[in-house]
Structures are given as structure tokens and as C-alpha cells.
Amino acid sequence: MNKLEEAMDRLERAVMRLEGSMDRVGQSDESHAAALTAAKADYAALATTTERVAARLDAAIGRLDRALEG
């Protein structure tokens, strides 16, 4: 999961850089706007994947805990 967190951090920083770039260039630059939209979509997909992975890990840990107790 460490790699997932690192990837999410990198993607979030990229989105922030794009947003900053758009502020400097202005909203009229369509290429930046499209890149920002794509980066946000990638970020949302990665966040969803991270949530699924976290839930599955929590479930696996719970099963292991119950197996060790029983």
C-alpha cells in the first residue's frame, strides 16, 4: 500500500501544480484545463482503488485476528 500512497501523493502534487499553472495562465488555456480534468479523473480513480484496497486489507486483518483468537 505504500506505493499506492506515494502514487496518490505524486498525483495530488501534479494536480496542484496544474491548478497553479492555470491560475497564472488563466482559464482560457484549454490544454491546461483538459490536463487538469484528466488528472482529477485519474486522482478520483486512484482514490477509489485505494479505498477498496484498504477495505480488503482491513477485512483480511480481521479474519487473521479471529483465526488467531479462535
Using H for helix, E for strand and C for coil, what is the string for 10-61?
HHHHHHHHHHHHHHHHCCCCHHHHHHHHHHHHHHHHHHHHHHHHHHHHHHHH
| pLDDT one-digit tens code per residue, 5-60 | 888 888 888 888 887 777 666 556 677 778 888 989 998 999 999 999 999 999 99
Tell me the domain boundaries of the chain: 2-69
- Kindly state the cell numbers that stand for 43: 486522482
Identify the CA nearest to 36 among candidates 12, 60, 66. Answer: 12
Farthest-apart Cα atoms in the chain, separation: 63
Say what the pTM is.
0.53
The one-letter amino acid code at 61 reads: I
